[in-house]
Structure 1
């Protein structure tokens, strides 16, 4: 399969890399209650793929957002493909250890990764000598879901709206603190993008992992945060945090009074996070097609759509592997600009 070749200075250019050749039409699938053998992809039915269990590596500990998302898909995807999908948690180095493991695995479709912006965007932009390239070392197959991001402030902050908060930051002259789950994390990248877009300043306070930075903003150790809505929605609904804007195509049903960044004239900040599935580079095109169609079939089942929405996740749109990698490449460029301008460094 043709690769999208990004030059070594890919994050310094303002022109996104050329789009991969769009994959040919996939194999037809039909999902029934029992998922009979005739409903499986042609490669499963004729014994070529898959013929044994598939390992889905999650490069984070159990219970995190990527792990939870992956586990929503394993049973219905395995039922559709006719083989078990086994989760293998390989945490460490912000997702890099498990991601590198998959990049170096045999490209036969039996070792996959639950990819995310942490492993395939933030880490490659910030960590030197990472050991893998998010584009050249993977066949990025399909999304499992998109997660809205949200700009949140502690209730002690006097600002009640986005505009008031921008004015507040300017008046404070860089004396306001914000938290993230670590230096170079997506939380920092999103917050720094917000500061650059609004011409404001603030002090970054990195924490180690997701739970400590949640605790920090709840305790008013820091005054704001720009992170995943799924994590913070219960605290918003309980009145412990105030949402000023969401990064989402439309307003969130659970927060109907909170505008999107696009509505506020900040379309560059209106970027959702995503979780997907990828395979090692060189995986046969027919296998990539079969997996893409199977994931899309599961993602569009009414039960899965409802399950994702209940969790605050946006069901993924129909995006081909080529379009998925194009989106990733464009974000590597745009967030690469944020990393350089904000001088973001790893811990």
Structure 2
């Protein structure tokens, strides 16, 4: 009897274990099912800014190439507003199936979370980072009518005329705002901040001479620089950029904290299945390894990024959030 009972008991245990494994397998089936054959329908790429800006340009440049690699249409959907928070929040709450992605930027995934206490999304917890699309050199610009041609002349002139100059930014808490305030704090400059509702309006008033200086990315301002309307005094980039070979980097000017590029990247909602994240990462590597992509990126003033893995990209986001938080606190930058 004992032996028979033991045999039956062991058999039941095996059946129960099999049933349990079956339940676990069934629970994993939805993730596997949606990963297999991905993508089998169009993918939506949300750009959380208006058309025509640097994030939109980067997103559209990637969308066309990514579509060819994935074999599916990639639809660009501009959802602008609140410094990129509207579009980013939309993607954070979208189904985690790989069919709704976002063009993350330094504004949406670094500066916003660093300076906005009640942000409508969590840049670290609500997204699955994929990798970078590009890096963008930032440029300190002045109106070409001003009597300064170098960074040193700019510093001397502002110091000689305290409180008489102003600079434009794309808004309170923007990369331009924080970077210029950091520059002011390091060099003791007295130059007033004029916030705008976007880089476009700021650029218009720069060209019109209503504001004298700004900090912006090279991509958005290259045509105004080459036409002679704006003058570039320094660039934030790993090395001098090909389009401005005579303009020094902030590293060369002994201001390494200011030598940060901006970037755009690809991200999905958190909990997107790992096979889909891997598929998107591999597709991005294929695109970014193409010599034609390198040429296209260089033509618009963008820097082809290093091959950051999803985890490395996540780490960079976290590190830069902490950097900008420390900038605001250390230099007592007022964002209002």
- The answer as to 2:307 corresponding to 1:318 is yes
Query: Who is 2:137 aligned against?
Result: 148
- Mapped partners of 2:277, 2:242: distance in 1: 34
Show the 5 A alignment for 1:196-235: 196-235=185-224
Which residue of the other structure, out of 97, 118, 131, is the alignment partner of 1:129? 118
Which residue of the other structure, out of 59, 67, 72, is the alignment partner of 1:83? 72
Q: Counting helix residues as a fraction of each chain, which structure ranks higher?
A: 2
Q: C-alpha displacement at 1:91, in angstroms? A: 1.3
Equivalent residue of 2:200, what SS?
helix
Q: 1:219 to 1:75 in 2, by over 3 A?
A: closer
- Mapped partners of 1:75, 1:138: distance in 2: 23
Aligned residue-pair number: 303
TM-score (norm 1): 0.83
Which residue of the other structure, out of 269, 273, 280, is the alignment partner of 1:284? 273
TM-score (norm 2): 0.85
CA RMSD of aligned residues (A): 1.8
- Mapped partners of 1:236, 1:78: distance in 2: 33
Q: C-alpha displacement at 1:203, in angstroms? A: 0.5
Q: C-alpha displacement at 1:64, in angstroms? A: 2.1
Query: Who is 1:138 aligned against?
Result: 127
Find the structure with the greater CA-based Rg. Answer: 2
Q: C-alpha displacement at 1:218, in angstroms? A: 1.6
Contact 1:192 1:342 survives alignment (8 Å): no
Show CA shifts across 1:44-63 (max 9, x none).
9x944222221111111222
- The answer as to 2:333 corresponding to 1:343 is yes
Show CA shifts across 1:261-299 (max 9, x none).
111111111111101110111112221111111111101
Contact 1:187 1:226 survives alignment (8 Å): yes
Q: C-alpha displacement at 1:175, in angstroms? A: 2.9
Higher relative contact order (CA 8 A, sep 6+): 1
**Structure 1 runs not aligned, ≥5 long:** 1-42
Q: C-alpha displacement at 1:87, in angstroms? A: 1.4
Q: C-alpha displacement at 1:202, in angstroms? A: 1.4
Q: C-alpha displacement at 1:102, in angstroms? A: 0.6
Query: Who is 1:243 aligned against?
Result: 232
- Mapped partners of 1:342, 1:67: distance in 2: 32
Query: Who is 2:262 aligned against?
Result: 273
- Mapped partners of 2:155, 2:86: distance in 1: 38
User: Which moves more between the two structures, 151-160 or 88-97?
Assistant: 151-160
- Mapped partners of 1:59, 1:204: distance in 2: 25
Contact 1:192 1:338 survives alignment (8 Å): no
Q: 1:299 to 1:344 in 2, by over 3 A?
A: farther
Contact 1:190 1:227 survives alignment (8 Å): no
Contact 1:123 1:130 survives alignment (8 Å): yes
**Structure 2 runs not aligned, ≥5 long:** 1-31
Query: Who is 1:7 aligned against?
Result: none
- The answer as to 2:149 corresponding to 1:160 is yes
- Mapped partners of 2:273, 2:51: distance in 1: 30
Equivalent residue of 1:72, what SS?
helix
Kindly report structure 1 stretches of 4+ aligned residues shifted beyond 3 Å: none
